[in-house]
Amino acid sequence: MPANLVVGAQWGDEGKAKVIDYLSKDTDIIVRYQGGANAGHTVVVGGKKYIFHLVPSGIIYDNTTCVIGNGVVLDPEYFLKECADLEKSGFNVKNKVLISDSCHILLPHHRLIDEVRELGSSPEGKIGTTKKGIGMCYADKMLRIGLRAGDLLDKDMLKRKLARILEVKNQELVKYYDLEPVKLDDLFKSLSQFADIMGNNIINTIYFLNDALQQGKRVLLEGAQGTGLDIDHGTYPYVTSSNPTSGGALAGSGVSFRYLKDVIGITKAYTTRVGEGPFPSEILGEAGEVLRKLGGEYGSTTGRPRRCGWFDVQMIKHSIVVNGINNITLTKIDVLSHYDSIPVVVGYELKGKRLTHFPSQGLEDVKPVFAEFKGWKDDISGISSFDKLPPNCRSYINSLQELIGTKIGIVSTGPDREDTIIMN
């Protein structure tokens, strides 16, 4: 059986979790492959809202096993808190979640340093991170002084590794950041507790996944954040520290590329971004505030107001190329019902010349080229059939499909599972 991939085509928060939840009913295993507690995936079932950060959102289906892949940075404190909350809602996380023995463990000082760096940055240097320590943990992974989940399984080895790590990190904490050193015994104790609770769930998920695929199981790879936040293909340096794109899905899960079939790109019918960085289709001022309110655009992890803008064809085309997207899901189209006329960015100009693609540099200098589409001014929330949409709304969807050159397979008209149009 193939593996399918759900990837964010914008700057995150596209509504991936709703689509993952929708696809979960035909899936055996769901894998998170990058990011960490910076993600906030919201699923609404029967009017009840669930927000996931580290645990794959497929947990709410009985039939699925959830895997935290080797590319994730796992914060044990956040994870246990999320498990406790989910257990209160009746989901047995311990029986359903497997953790890769190669995934990196996010330690308390990663969070501290992230916070200090963000607070201390000049306005020009600020990234606007979630302050969850994500970049610091990935940096240590690359510096080869990270701790991996498999290291928790042998307490003697854990203590030795922690001692080596703290020898380096404590110097950094004290000398560069003027922070308190981390106490080895305290950290060892809390990680030992995590290992006592979750140790049996830590396995080699790379073989688990490839064996499962070979046996015909259906696997869904769940991306966090989005293409615009990809460390290589996004708007560097205003990005996260991992690869949400399809290459990252393979590296971060160990699933062989031979199994990958559909790459489903998720995009809102408009655009949002949290944190700093260029945003060509951004709506500034009061008009931006109107869209923010209409869409309820506040971060599910940090509560920060999201910056809002119009749909950006050039950006989505970039995501299609980089990820190999063959199917698009368009979310939150109901939010646009308010408008008489809907602008869409159809390209960029730089110094009077039309660009042929999304630039790797200088996005802040481009001038967006707009086209206008007629609004429909009818409430379409909850509509689940394309034919029942107002003609102007159908025309908006068809025009976007034509402009991006890729099939729109699903349209979402509201937060609930049922508010979904499957296009034929």
Known binding-site residue numbers for substrate: 300-306
Least Å distance, CB 387 to ligand IMP, is 33
Can you give the C-alpha Rg of the chain in angstroms?
A: 22
Instruction: Tell me, yes or no, if 230 is annotated catalytic.
Output: no
- Give the nearer residue to ligand IMP in terms of CB position, either 229 or 410: 229
Binding residues for IMP: 13-16, 38-41, 130, 144, 225, 240, 304
Binding residues among 174-233 for ligand IMP as defined by CB under 6 A: 224-225, 229
Residue of closest CB approach to ligand IMP: 275
> What mask of x and - would describe binding to ligand IMP in positions 257 to 296, judged by CB under 6 A?
-----------------xx---------------------
> DSSP labels for 87-132?
HHTT--STTTEEEETTSEEPPHHHHHHHHHHHHHS-TTT-----SS
Q: CA–CA separation, 288 vs 271, rounded Å?
A: 11
CB 320 within 8 A of CB 243: no
Of 111, 114, 116, nearest to 178 by C-alpha is: 116
Report residue 408 as tokens.
């729109």
Instruction: Tell me, yes or no, if 41 is annotated catalytic.
Output: yes
Of 79, 86, 299, 95, nearest to 201 by C-alpha is: 95
- Give the nearer residue to ligand IMP in terms of CB position, either 315 or 342: 315
Q: CA–CA separation, 44 vs 203, rounded Å?
A: 31
Least Å distance, CB 413 to ligand IMP, is 22
> What mask of x and - would describe binding to ligand IMP in positions 11 to 40, judged by CB under 6 A?
xxx------------------------xxx
Under rule CB under 6 A, how many of the chain's residues touch ligand IMP? Answer: 21
DSSP state of 67: E
Which one-letter amino acid corresponds to residue 68?
Answer: I
Least Å distance, CB 314 to ligand IMP, is 20
- Give the nearer residue to ligand IMP in terms of CB position, either 13 or 419: 13
Q: CA–CA separation, 412 vs 415, rounded Å?
A: 8
Binding residues among 79-138 for ligand IMP as defined by CB under 6 A: 127-130, 132, 134-135
- Give the nearer residue to ligand IMP in terms of CB position, either 218 or 306: 306
Which position among 41, 109, 233, 318 bears the catalytic label?
A: 41
Does residue 244 bind ligand IMP (CB under 6 A)? no
Task: Please state whether the peptide bond connecting residue 359 to the residue before it is cis, i.e. omega within 30 degrees of 0.
Answer: no
Could you list the beta-strand ranges (E) of 155-299. 202-203, 219-222, 260-268, 271-273
Binding site for ligand IMP (CB under 6 A): 11-13, 38-40, 127-130, 132, 134-135, 224-225, 229, 238, 240-241, 274-275
What residues are labeled active site?
13, 41
